[in-house]
Amino acid sequence: MTSSPSLSQVLLPALEASRAGDARGFQALPRAAAPSLLAVAQRFLSEARHVDDVTHDTLMLAWQNAHCQAKSELSPEGWLFAVLASRLHSLLTAKGALASSGGVFDPIPAQRQGAALWQLAQTLAPVPPGEALSRRLEQRLQDLRRAPGLPLTPTGETVHPPLYDRRLRRRMLRSRVAYQAKMAFQHALGRPFEDFLFRRWQRNREACRTLEQQGLPRRSLESALGERLDLEIDPRRLVRGFSYPDGFPDRLERRKASNLFLWEGDWDRPRHYLADSGHVRFIQDIWRHRLAPEESDTFQQLEASRLSGNPMRSHHRGMLLDSRERILEYLRLYLLYMEDMACFGFDAGAGKDRLGVAVDRRGQLIKINKGLHRLAMAQVLGLPRITVRVRSVHRAWWDEQTRDCGGEEALERLVSALRRCTPAPE
């Protein structure tokens, strides 16, 4: 009689399949790891639903971040149980139960606790998943298999299958075609012409001085400088935001500004504070109620809209929240994003856009509307550092830093000056 394979024998192939996006990796992962994860979770949690939540989320986070395991100094088992430690820490914090956890989760980081929890797991009898958890994991597997056959969002992202509704398909396809046509035009004509003029400006050709006067093409400049436009900051100090309608009341000017790196005028005068934004209130609300998302204000508002016959829908994100289950899935999806950030830190490349900021006339950083949810998550979680990308700067500040020089010299002065920029104070 042959014995069943151990976790160490199955885990690494499952993570390798996950890195390749192979759904069979997720199928193998719960089979191998869930019994040990459940055994450890039950040592710290008394409620079965919390044990299931922690185990489910640990497996999802491991699947989504399998690429991180290859870079880790921990063994595959130690890495997996470090993910479990992070998720346990989050739940015990929400319950106010860290003091009764035997000191295992204090101090953080969880990376140092993975090996300890793996050792603990080897002393415990494996716990097979119950019916509820088995159904959830099977549904996740079906979602992963179904996702490639669903329409993409207009900008090309994969929809979250549980939130997708077939009634969105036609509008999503129309928007996708329109977006692709726009991108094709830019790729074939608009962008090459911008890049041609920008390269001439880089060489400081007098004939291209008008390009700088017009504001410089943002995409060409960002392509030239890349990560040199990135800054590391404390997210809690980034308190001021920017409103396009207030900064550029004229719609034509607003559309034009989105393509330019140099912004003129008084766009930085209106004072908007991120603490007052709906993004921050949403993230604070669901994180405060993460043990019971149905008790959050956000859930109550979405449920009221559904019951009134006006459920939240977005063909740009491919979702329709027309049932209680879909609303809860939507909230849990954002909570999983936060658990991901709490465990693995801030990923500057996550999402379709970098977390963008603009530089005002004083050389201070103001948040623009790129990555507002991710910034709110970092602030609520208390992350010490994040990476932001400068998307635009005020013309007056640019003139002060470059002192009428142009081309490559101006870009070098810009990069040097950006290192001195700090978030705008309240």
Q: pLDDT band for 68, please (50, 70, 90 cuts).
A: confident
Domain boundaries, the chain: 7-148, 278-340
119: left (phi over 0), alpha (psi -120 to 50) or beta: alpha
Please report, for the chain, how many H helices and E strands are present, in that order: 19, 10
The arithmetic mean of pLDDT across residues 95-107, rounded, is 52
pLDDT tens for each residue of 352-379? 678 999 999 999 999 998 789 999 999 9
pLDDT at 99: 47
Instruction: Report how far residue 113's alpha carbon sits from residue 85's, in angstroms, rounded to the nearest whole number.
Output: 6
Helix intervals (H) in 45-113: 48-64, 66-71, 76-95
Backbone angles phi, psi at 284, to 5 degrees: -60, -40
**How many Cβ atoms from other residues are within 10 Å of residue 380's Cβ?**
20
pLDDT tens for each residue of 166-189? 999 999 999 999 988 988 888 887
pLDDT at 313 over 70: yes
The arithmetic mean of pLDDT across residues 40-65, rounded, is 94
How many angstroms separate the first and last alpha carbons of the chain? 70
pLDDT at 55 over 70: yes
pLDDT tens for each residue of 103-126? 444 434 455 688 889 999 999 999
- For the entire predicted model, the pTM comes to 0.90
Determine which helix (DSSP H) or strand (DSSP E) holds 297, and give its type and residue range.
helix 297-307
